[in-house]
A and B are shown apart, each in its own frame.
Chain A
Amino acid sequence: MSQVSEATPALEAIGIHKRFGGVVANDDVNLRVEKGRIHALLGENGAGKSTLVNILFGLYRADRGEVRVAGEVVNLGRPRDAIDRGIGMVHQHFQLVPVLTVAENVVLGDEPSRSHTMFDFGAARRAVQELGERYGLEVDPEAVVEDLPVGTQQRVEILRSLYRRADVLILDEPTAVLTPQETDQLLEVLRGLADQGVAIVFITHKLREVLAIADEVTVMRDGRVVGSTTPGETDEAGLAEMMVGRSVVLRVSKTPASPAATVLRVNDLCVDDDRGLRAVNELSLEVRAGEILGVAGVEGNGQRELVEAVTGLRSVVSGIVEMDGHNITGLSPRQISELGMAHIPENREKHGLVGAHSVADNLVLNQYYRAPFARRGFRRMDTVTEHSRSLVADYDIRTPDVFTPARALSGGNKQKTIAAREFSQGARLLVAAQPTRGIDVGSIEFVHQQLIDQRDRGLAVLLISAELDEILSLSDRIGVIYGGRLVVVADASDLDRIRIGRIMTTGSHDTPAT
């Protein structure tokens, strides 16, 4: 068993209970975090991890139980109390003011000032520089936060906690928004902080990260702690089983593809981004029926613009997009959709669902206006309800009923809703962008299996993902996008993780030209 430390834990939660209405979010939860150690808190979405850390940070108040900081029982009524006890938190949705500078964000609330009124920007800038040098977190203090990439914004969040002398740092799903490279950098920074004595609580549902960085692991499920372990004692399969409560297929099994006719053909496509800069540059690709073409790449290399151009959401500068031999360049998204293109968008809240509308309405969002869901301009609600009930059952969408607003669903169930809608209209081609971002292991398994099943039924799939594991486990052929160009396209069996990673980051490949 793991060794029990004699020292007083930096942070301890004992017997925490918390309920929201009828839902028990935390049920007798215990957590013990040691100084200088990285403690991973693992669990699916809705397992109660966020509730627990929000209690530890004073955002929620526990119904029962106590929190101890360095052995002392504390009353955390609001975030200020937690901050004053040396607890810092990096929130899943960054709590930074986008229009302010890095320095202003770091010191906000504890500003250096002259005669208690005038804000001393120079002192704030120096503080940020000093902290950055000391912890290896260099950020330009005068940069405006909204101009910074996500990974850098996260560093600002960490700096903000360090500025308040946090010796316990809680990170709520810090890697959910990061690219693989940024994730590696973050893990390095966290290791450095732990070496300097900071206790770290690291919330995640990514097993690889837990094994890579954690000293201890606590697993939560349905509001309870279901086990504690260390990376040395377990492996990915073991952790996944603890987390989900049953054994999970981490790598989908699939038979070799039997590709048929070309469905999607993109020829010399050029697309500009929102700022008018060339994002996709003379890109060509083909996807055949019954195969999955995976496009790997660090985010921001033209993936978004490629997807939007293919699905008709963004205008094309030059080049041709063909589907089943028809030129679809410049057609409206609805025309393209009616020709048989399904789309799982990257941002499901923003582009995939209408959050305020019911699950039923969202399930017919691409065909609500036509038979059998509408007749002579009037919607036929009975048909819609019946259709959506059967999809909810088929796709195992966990929702109180089909009239619940879509925004109330968990991330995984939102994604299942989108998948159900897109798969149910008999599409010929699926464009899936980041289809499993930020959803729990159980839902990932489901979505992956669906992609393979649909492929086997003859669907052509263009899969775009920043998750290399996802690309590797699903794709029949893999292309790597870099600077708006497909640098390489090859059979999945000809590329390995290391080589793809190298091409993703450098844009060059070392194989001789054929």
Chain B
Amino acid sequence: MGLVMADDAKHRNVLAAIVYRLRWWLVTGALLVAFTLWTGEFHQAQTTAILASTLRHSTPLVLGALCGMLGERSGVINIGIEGQMLMSAWGGFMVASATGDLLIGVLAGVAVGMLMGAVLAGISVGLRGDQIIAGTVLNIAAIGITSFFFTQGRTLPSGKLRPIRLGPLADLPVAGRVLFSNKPITYLTLLLVPVVWFGLFRTTWGLRTRAVGEHPSAAETVGISVVGMRYLNLILGGGIAGLAGAYLSLEAVGSFERGMTNGKGFVALAVMIFGRWNPIGAWGAALLFGYASAVQTQFQFRDWLTSDPQFVGMIPFVVTIVVLAGFVGRARPPASIGQPYSRE
């Protein structure tokens, strides 16, 4: 009995600690929701639209940030996320269009992303090349390849991925549409955030990853293969970026367009840094960016506050900047990022 009670107390403390640590995120979240309600003037439909759009906009950013995080936590800067996403969006679309099967398309996108991750690892870890150059190579190659092999007029025979309604939960007001009737990759993203967090901070793989990213020679002297860990993480990360690409072409748009990633891979890097290389933090940061985009879209759709549209349109960005500058504080990247590793 005593043991159980002690456990309970411990859990309460842990919960309190988490709430305390995330207090600024919670405050911001509350402020944003309040702002949304205000702009929607309690019109449920508008509020719901903004929140649902926030989640959609944030999905590729979170995935991109998780990809960058796996790389940087193990010591490799990945500025090629944009290219990985673009290649996967294209690859996933082409395969889905040819086979007519969306699932195979998504898997193809992930596979292309992993391949891109392997290329990045080959240049920056295997050949010990400059990591920034390696990432740039990925981005340029992706633009070239996808443009060259792009054929106008291809479509998806089965249409794009469709929402999955989670039973009665989907009928709840606001939350039902925002959280419980999304498309598969959005659900998967919501699942990946805690999974990657748990992996990084609660498993031996995560401990080794962080050790390799902070002090590779220390990891090597206790028998961890620095090269092996970096390959593994870059390929896993590539897979996640691949999912982001598949999201763009197969879930959000339903076709492929030249340069359709439109800088999302770079915004994802910013999201990762704002989130302090932590999946939960990155998720919060991505929601903030997503919210800014969503509000902007909403204002374009409806002619709200036409007297001073620029001013209102500015608010979410001001909120983003103030919030990020105000309490994200000094973020410290993993110590060894950017440096190729060699033993002797």
A interface list, Cβ under 8 A from B = 57, 59-60, 78-80, 83, 89, 91, 94-100, 104-105, 108-111, 113, 116-119, 160
Contact A91 B221 (CB under 8 A): yes
Q: Indicate whether B208 reaches chain A with its CB closer than 8 angstroms.
A: yes
| Distance in Å: Cβ of A104 to nearest Cβ of chain B | 6
A96-B215, A109-B208 known; A83 vs B223 contact (CB < 8 Å): yes
* Closest residue of A by beta carbon distance from B220: A79
Q: Indicate whether B224 reaches chain A with its CB closer than 8 angstroms.
A: yes
Q: Indicate whether B344 reaches chain A with its CB closer than 8 angstroms.
A: yes
Report B-chain residues with C-beta under 8 Å of the C-beta of A111: 204, 207
Q: Which of B203, B214, B222 contacts A109 (CB 8 A)?
A: B222
Report B-chain residues with C-beta under 8 Å of the C-beta of A95: 215, 217-218, 221-222
Contact A119 B222 (CB under 8 A): no
Q: How far is the CA of A442 from the CA of B214 in the complex (A)?
A: 37
| Distance in Å: Cβ of B175 to nearest Cβ of chain A | 32
Q: How far is the CA of A113 from the CA of B205 in the complex (A)?
A: 11
**20 A-B pairs, CB-CB below 8 angstroms?**
A60-B344, A79-B222, A80-B223, A83-B222, A83-B223, A95-B221, A97-B210, A97-B214, A97-B215, A98-B215, A99-B335, A108-B207, A108-B224, A109-B208, A109-B222, A109-B224, A113-B203, A116-B204, A118-B204, A119-B203
Q: Indicate whether B202 reaches chain A with its CB closer than 8 angstroms.
A: yes
| Distance in Å: Cβ of B212 to nearest Cβ of chain A | 9
CB-based closest 3 A-B pairs:
A109-B222, A80-B223, A95-B218
Report B-chain residues with C-beta under 8 Å of the C-beta of A79: 220-223
Report A-chain residues with C-beta under 8 Å of the C-beta of B220: 79
Q: How far is the CA of A148 from the CA of B75 in the complex (A)?
A: 24
Q: Indicate whether B211 reaches chain A with its CB closer than 8 angstroms.
A: yes
| Distance in Å: Cβ of A58 to nearest Cβ of chain B | 9
Q: How far is the CA of A94 from the CA of B215 in the complex (A)?
A: 10
Contact B224 A118 (CB under 8 A): no
Contact B223 A78 (CB under 8 A): yes
- The total of chain B residues at the interface (CB under 8 A) is 22
* Contact indicator per residue, chain B 218-238, by CB within 8 Å of chain A (1) or not (0): 111111100000000000000
Report B-chain residues with C-beta under 8 Å of the C-beta of A57: 221
Contact B214 A98 (CB under 8 A): yes
Report A-chain residues with C-beta under 8 Å of the C-beta of B204: 111, 113, 116-119
Q: Indicate whether B126 reaches chain A with its CB closer than 8 angstroms.
A: no
Contact A100 B202 (CB under 8 A): no
Q: Indicate whether B206 reaches chain A with its CB closer than 8 angstroms.
A: yes
Contact A110 B207 (CB under 8 A): no
Q: Indicate whether B330 reaches chain A with its CB closer than 8 angstroms.
A: no
Q: Indicate whether B21 reaches chain A with its CB closer than 8 angstroms.
A: no
Q: Indicate whether B343 reaches chain A with its CB closer than 8 angstroms.
A: yes
Contact B205 A97 (CB under 8 A): no
A117-B204, A119-B204 known; A100 vs B221 contact (CB < 8 Å): no
| Distance in Å: Cβ of B49 to nearest Cβ of chain A | 41
Give the most central of B203, B221, B344: most A CB within 10 Å: B221
A59-B343, A97-B214, A98-B335 known; A109 vs B206 contact (CB < 8 Å): no
Contact A97 B203 (CB under 8 A): no
Contact A109 B210 (CB under 8 A): no
Contact A104 B214 (CB under 8 A): no
Report B-chain residues with C-beta under 8 Å of the C-beta of A117: 203-205
Q: How far is the CA of A83 from the CA of B222 in the complex (A)?
A: 8
| Distance in Å: Cβ of B281 to nearest Cβ of chain A | 16
Report B-chain residues with C-beta under 8 Å of the C-beta of A80: 223
Contact A109 B223 (CB under 8 A): yes
Report B-chain residues with C-beta under 8 Å of the C-beta of A119: 202-204, 206-207
Contact B211 A100 (CB under 8 A): yes
* Closest residue of B by beta carbon distance from A94: B218
Q: A96-B218, A113-B204 given. 10 additional CB < 8 A pairs?
A: A79-B220, A79-B221, A79-B223, A95-B215, A97-B210, A97-B211, A99-B214, A100-B211, A109-B219, A119-B206
Q: How far is the CA of A348 from the CA of B89 in the complex (A)?
A: 52
A97-B214, A119-B202 known; A104 vs B221 contact (CB < 8 Å): no
* Closest residue of A by beta carbon distance from B334: A99
| Distance in Å: Cβ of A57 to nearest Cβ of chain B | 8
* Closest residue of A by beta carbon distance from B224: A109
Q: How far is the CA of A89 from the CA of B335 in the complex (A)?
A: 23
Identify which of residues 155-208 in chain B touch chain A, using a CB-to-CB cut-off of 8 Å. 202-208
Identify which of residues 310-344 in chain B touch chain A, using a CB-to-CB cut-off of 8 Å. 335, 343-344
Q: How far is the CA of A108 from the CA of B229 in the complex (A)?
A: 14
Q: Which of A59, A60, A97 contacts B218 (CB 8 A)?
A: A97
Q: How far is the CA of A256 from the CA of B222 in the complex (A)?
A: 54
| Distance in Å: Cβ of B47 to nearest Cβ of chain A | 40
Q: How far is the CA of A99 from the CA of B219 in the complex (A)?
A: 13
Report A-chain residues with C-beta under 8 Å of the C-beta of B210: 97, 99-100
Q: Which of A59, A94, A100, A118 contacts B214 (CB 8 A)?
A: A100
Q: How far is the CA of A111 from the CA of B222 in the complex (A)?
A: 11
| Distance in Å: Cβ of B343 to nearest Cβ of chain A | 7
Report B-chain residues with C-beta under 8 Å of the C-beta of A108: 207-208, 211, 218-219, 222, 224
| Distance in Å: Cβ of A288 to nearest Cβ of chain B | 45
* Closest residue of B by beta carbon distance from A60: B344
Report B-chain residues with C-beta under 8 Å of the C-beta of A160: 222
Give the most central of B206, B211, B343: most A CB within 10 Å: B211
Q: How far is the CA of A160 from the CA of B215 in the complex (A)?
A: 16
| Distance in Å: Cβ of B224 to nearest Cβ of chain A | 5
Report B-chain residues with C-beta under 8 Å of the C-beta of A83: 222-223
Q: How far is the CA of A100 from the CA of B215 in the complex (A)?
A: 10
Report B-chain residues with C-beta under 8 Å of the C-beta of A105: 218
Report B-chain residues with C-beta under 8 Å of the C-beta of A99: 210, 214, 335
* Closest residue of A by beta carbon distance from B211: A97
Q: How far is the CA of A113 from the CA of B206 in the complex (A)?
A: 12
Report B-chain residues with C-beta under 8 Å of the C-beta of A60: 344
* Closest residue of B by beta carbon distance from A106: B222
| Distance in Å: Cβ of B108 to nearest Cβ of chain A | 28
Report B-chain residues with C-beta under 8 Å of the C-beta of A118: 202-204
Q: How far is the CA of A100 from the CA of B211 in the complex (A)?
A: 8
Report B-chain residues with C-beta under 8 Å of the C-beta of A113: 203-204
| Distance in Å: Cβ of B169 to nearest Cβ of chain A | 30
Report A-chain residues with C-beta under 8 Å of the C-beta of B214: 97-100
Q: How far is the CA of A99 from the CA of B335 in the complex (A)?
A: 9
| Distance in Å: Cβ of B329 to nearest Cβ of chain A | 16
Q: How far is the CA of A94 from the CA of B203 in the complex (A)?
A: 24
| Distance in Å: Cβ of B214 to nearest Cβ of chain A | 5
Q: How far is the CA of A60 from the CA of B203 in the complex (A)?
A: 31
| Distance in Å: Cβ of B208 to nearest Cβ of chain A | 7
* Contact indicator per residue, chain B 40-55, by CB within 8 Å of chain A (1) or not (0): 0000000000000000
| Distance in Å: Cβ of B33 to nearest Cβ of chain A | 34
Report A-chain residues with C-beta under 8 Å of the C-beta of B208: 108-109
| Distance in Å: Cβ of A295 to nearest Cβ of chain B | 33
Report A-chain residues with C-beta under 8 Å of the C-beta of B219: 97, 108-109
* Contact indicator per residue, chain B 239-250, by CB within 8 Å of chain A (1) or not (0): 000000000000
Q: How far is the CA of A100 from the CA of B205 in the complex (A)?
A: 14
Report B-chain residues with C-beta under 8 Å of the C-beta of A97: 210-211, 214-215, 218-219
| Distance in Å: Cβ of A93 to nearest Cβ of chain B | 8
Q: How far is the CA of A113 from the CA of B344 in the complex (A)?
A: 31
* Closest residue of A by beta carbon distance from B344: A60
Q: How far is the CA of A100 from the CA of B224 in the complex (A)?
A: 16
Give the most central of A94, A117, A160: most B CB within 10 Å: A117
Give the most central of B203, B206, B211, B218: most A CB within 10 Å: B218
